[in-house]
Structure 1
Amino acid sequence: MKYDVAVVGAGFSAIAVTLQLLRKLSPHQSVAVIGDDPGFGRGTAYRSEFHIHRLNVAAARMSIFPDRPDDFLNWQMEKGRSVKAGDYVPRSDFGLYLRDRLAELLRQRQTCARVDFIKAKALGCLDIGADTTMIRLAHGGELVARNLVLCLGVGSASIPAPLRDLPETAKSHLVENPWRLGWLSKVGANERVCILGSGLTMVDQVLALRASGHQGMIHVLSRRGLLPHRHDRQPVSPVPPELPETDRRMSKLLAALRKQVRRGAPWRSVIDGLRPHTQTLWQELPDAEKKRFLRHAVPWWTVHRHRLAPDVADDLDRVLNDGRLTVHAGYLQQAELSRPGISLSYRARGSREIRRLTADWIVNCTGMERAGIDHSPFLQCMEDRGQLQPDPLGLGIMVDETSRLIGRDGQPQHNIHVVGALTAGRFWEITAVPDIRVQANAVAAQIAAELASSPASDVRAATS
């Protein structure tokens, strides 16, 4: 088949782009959405059915449409729910909202573009003309598209090296991907669990364990032992940051923010006020300062910027206060099978002391892979063909200011766009709904304008 646009991916970025294409393309145009995830659009984040898994952004900021900021709240009203602007609702609600809004647009067949959902993994693509790309699919099929939008996200970080040599008998108790929630039912009520990583994913898994009836000891091990901060129960108003006009050294920027807080501005307000400027500020940083930020400041940025919903923070505090959750700061050195369980050795942060702990289960919550390519045969194939190049900071792949993919030759490819976390090297703040929806809207508008200016002859026609 030939399509005007092919969207590769099945997570939130893909549904955001698809919704905007449906709103902007004409009825005679066509879209293929390629992905092998049965829960299209919900991805990992919004598939969880645990009520305790809450959004960490208030409901008022979660509309999928930038031009309809109250749409998520309106959907809640349509469902007969009493949700206020500052509430942090279950993630499953947001997944259902995305499903409903997509279904509404798909039903408008007379006014919207046609969309075909192709359940397959994309393996690679081949340029077959100045304006056309052929995509190879895992089941042996192919399709042709005039425009390609990559919404593949990034993969989970691989397990730390010391765990890779554990015997096979121990690996059955090593959870590499905690979002495959089937592991929860296998954990005994009093078995010991060690979670590697102390961020938002760790919090989700601790609360899921407790909700599943687990009462045993939980150890959390991360390099710095930092826990996410909480949102205020009463929403705070953003305060515009007072930054030096031209100096873009990290030390000077941090000093300016600290000075603002010392003068009385609530730190949450300062962080929230920084948000509208973050992408521009990131692009103004010299490469050396970006590298300094990534080496030294990311963990502190993360715990202040990506905060817990108040109710979730309360739940975590209760687990901490009951004495059955301990946070360790240190560097994992060795893992070996013991009797019983798995013994971990780590070097305590700030010292040379080697400490040990033993657990029956090890859970990998170390976050997402930094490079963003290793998880995807499709991206690897594109890299081999010179169609993309990894971001030099190791944050994803290179794009220009309009989210067009940059090839090995350094030139943007006018008919290939990238949306979501893979563009962090250019935009940094591009993993949350408020940021991705703006990017998706802009990319869809560019594609619609280009298709309108250069219409093709019956691009829907079947080819063989």
Structure 2
Amino acid sequence: MYRRVAIIGGGAAAATLLSELLDRQPAQSLHLDWFTGGDAPGRGVAYGTRSERHLLNVRAASMSMFASKPRGFLDFAQRGDHSIAGTDFLPRRLYGDYLEAEVEHALERAKALGHDVRVIPFKVDGLVPEHDGVTILQGEETTHVDAAVLALGGLPPQPLSGVSDAAIASGRYVVNPWSFLAQAQPDPAPRKVVLVGLGLTAVDVVLELAALWPNASFTAISRHGLLPEAHLASASAPSDDGADLIEAMQAAPDLRSWMRLLRDAIAHSEDWRVVIDSMRPHTPALWQALPQEERARFLRHARWAWERARHRMAPQVMAQMQALEQAGRFRRERARLHAADVEGDHLHLSITPTGSSTPQALDTDLVIQTIGLNTDVRRTGHPLVSQLATNGHITPDPLGLGCAATTEGRLCHDGEAWPHLYAMGSLLRGTFWESTAMPEIRQQARQMADRLLGK
């Protein structure tokens, strides 16, 4: 059992691990240092939004922090509104309230049980993993702990290649959409806005800014020009557990075979969503069985299709996007961005339509980069991750999917796993692929708590 543990990160993954550790009521007292980085503990980026337009993309009944308390979030929501159903897609703001409430309860339990928990609203400057623990550097303080867990969430977004320094300095090319949304004002309002990327982040940005700037038009460019798929209006349980499909995929771990098997399963299913959802519990094992070259092939050719089918939006969100499109305020374009630079009082973009080799010009007032989650530790501006990588304490995943790690979450260096340095969430995407949504996070938190407490 580790008695002195550091949790690094201020979002949902860190909050869930803290709550799991304290919910177990360990026989011996714990000393927990939670370095939140200054954010509201638990909310992080994902649930820091206060907009009612930003909805969860998972139904309320499936969003509990705890695997052992499946109704946790639903019970919390219904205490404020008895009309809420488990099939509803609720505001992410409400889920942030739930996380904060659970953190508060966990800290109260810790005090009552005699645990020493420090919530430290600062970032960690550096880590030195050792064979008997981990040394934490924060300001002028040095702390030695038995184990440390990195639960950092997504890494800070980086500008795409071809974007000039002048474009970024002008404020007209936005790299971090969430920081921008938190400060966006009604005036001055741009007339033309371009979004680079067309996933769930782009949807959130368009819905929020379309309401804030009623006269603005939005163009989203992406390689395939397709929005994420939508959930069905009513929840449907899978007709089977997909065991035959999973067994066949495990027997043929290559992308071409998997695509053939998926097409066949979907053809014999009442709805393709049932097939995708039945795969979810098995995705980590399937990913681990996939050879490295097949993983790379998946990322090149099939990732976009999987992401839009797997990470779906609420049906009412899809309806709002369709209404904006029909009104002529939102359009999609199949293209890639090659360059962005300042030209007078606007940005000049060079884009190449999909299927063409001829660049085209596009002028706009504002560009917002909405390419989704960044997990590439090879090119990150995150100070702690950069320090660990530069000093050789972690090994970047070769495909840019976080860090090399064991299935227990131990981070690796030089082909070996550190005995006391762990990670959760997005940094483990190269190990599990699906490692960022709450159903996976709560399972990781439960297993990590067992590991740290020696159960």
CA contact (8 A) 1:15 1:40 kept: yes
Match of 1:164 in 2: 164
CA contact (8 A) 2:3 2:146 kept: yes
Aligned equivalents of 1:291, 1:157: Cα separation in 2: 21
Match of 1:122 in 2: 124
Match of 1:315 in 2: 320
Q: What SS does the aligned partner of 2:120 have?
A: strand
The change in CA–CA distance for 1:142 and 1:237 in structure 2 (over 3 A counts) is: same
Q: What SS does the aligned partner of 1:162 have?
A: coil
Displacement of 1:182: 4.1
Aligned equivalents of 1:359, 1:422: Cα separation in 2: 35
Match of 1:453 in 2: none
**Which deviations, in whole Å up to 9, do the C-alpha atoms of 1:153-187 show, x marking residues without a partner?**
2324312222224357x722221211012452165
Aligned equivalents of 1:78, 1:114: Cα separation in 2: 31
Match of 2:174 in 1: 175
CA contact (8 A) 1:8 1:33 kept: yes
Match of 1:457 in 2: none
Displacement of 1:340: 4.5
Map 1:305-454 onto structure 2 (within 5 A).
305-372=310-377, 374-408=380-414, 410-449=415-454
Match of 1:259 in 2: 264
CA contact (8 A) 2:156 2:382 kept: no
Give the aligned CA root-mean-square deviation in angstroms: 2.0
CA contact (8 A) 2:375 2:426 kept: no
Aligned equivalents of 1:386, 1:160: Cα separation in 2: 26
TM-score by length of 2: 0.93
Q: What SS does the aligned partner of 1:110 have?
A: helix
Match of 1:8 in 2: 8
**Which deviations, in whole Å up to 9, do the C-alpha atoms of 1:386-437 show, x marking residues without a partner?**
32211122201111111112222x2222222111100011100000000011
**Which deviations, in whole Å up to 9, do the C-alpha atoms of 1:88-116 show, x marking residues without a partner?**
00001000001111111211222263210
CA contact (8 A) 1:27 1:111 kept: no
Match of 1:455 in 2: none
TM-score by length of 1: 0.91
Q: Residue type matched to 1:354 in 2?
A: P
Match of 2:207 in 1: 207
The percent identity for this pair of structures is: 31
**Which deviations, in whole Å up to 9, do the C-alpha atoms of 1:309-350 show, x marking residues without a partner?**
111111111111101111111121232333542121211101
Aligned equivalents of 1:249, 1:177: Cα separation in 2: 35
Match of 1:89 in 2: 90
Map 1:41-60 onto structure 2 (within 5 A).
41-60=42-61
Q: Residue type matched to 2:228 in 1?
A: P
Q: What SS does the aligned partner of 2:274 have?
A: helix
Query: Which consecutive aligned stretches of 4+ in structure 1 deviate over 6 angstroms post-superposition?
Result: none
**Which deviations, in whole Å up to 9, do the C-alpha atoms of 1:180-215 show, x marking residues without a partner?**
124521654462111111110000000001221432
**Which deviations, in whole Å up to 9, do the C-alpha atoms of 1:441-462 show, x marking residues without a partner?**
1011111117xxxxxxxxxxxx
Q: Residue type matched to 1:16 in 2?
A: T
Structure 1 position 226 matched with structure 2 position 231:
no
**Which deviations, in whole Å up to 9, do the C-alpha atoms of 1:212-246 show, x marking residues without a partner?**
14321111111221210100001122343325251
Q: Residue type matched to 1:387 in 2?
A: H
Out of 422-431 and 118-127, give the one that drifted further. 118-127
The change in CA–CA distance for 1:356 and 1:112 in structure 2 (over 3 A counts) is: farther
CA contact (8 A) 2:337 2:352 kept: yes
Match of 1:459 in 2: none
Aligned equivalents of 2:388, 2:448: Cα separation in 1: 20
Aligned equivalents of 1:164, 1:277: Cα separation in 2: 42
CA contact (8 A) 1:17 1:444 kept: yes
Gaps of 5+ in 2: none
Aligned length: 445
CA contact (8 A) 2:3 2:29 kept: no
Out of 238-247 and 318-327, give the one that drifted further. 238-247
Structure 1 position 268 matched with structure 2 position 268:
no
Q: What SS does the aligned partner of 2:251 have?
A: coil
Aligned equivalents of 2:237, 2:167: Cα separation in 1: 53
CA contact (8 A) 1:34 1:117 kept: yes
- One of 108, 111, 130 as aligned partner of 2:113: 111
Aligned equivalents of 1:95, 1:274: Cα separation in 2: 28
Q: What SS does the aligned partner of 1:5 have?
A: strand
Q: Residue type matched to 2:117 in 1?
A: V
CA contact (8 A) 1:26 1:112 kept: no
CA contact (8 A) 1:12 1:42 kept: yes
Displacement of 1:43: 0.8
The change in CA–CA distance for 1:293 and 1:111 in structure 2 (over 3 A counts) is: same
Q: What SS does the aligned partner of 2:355 have?
A: coil
The change in CA–CA distance for 1:127 and 1:311 in structure 2 (over 3 A counts) is: closer
Q: What SS does the aligned partner of 1:106 have?
A: helix
The change in CA–CA distance for 1:214 and 1:110 in structure 2 (over 3 A counts) is: same
CA contact (8 A) 1:6 1:149 kept: yes
Aligned equivalents of 1:347, 1:101: Cα separation in 2: 48
CA contact (8 A) 1:195 1:363 kept: yes
CA contact (8 A) 1:162 1:334 kept: yes
Q: Residue type matched to 2:108 in 1?
A: R
Q: What SS does the aligned partner of 2:231 have?
A: coil
The change in CA–CA distance for 1:156 and 1:121 in structure 2 (over 3 A counts) is: closer
CA contact (8 A) 2:404 2:412 kept: yes
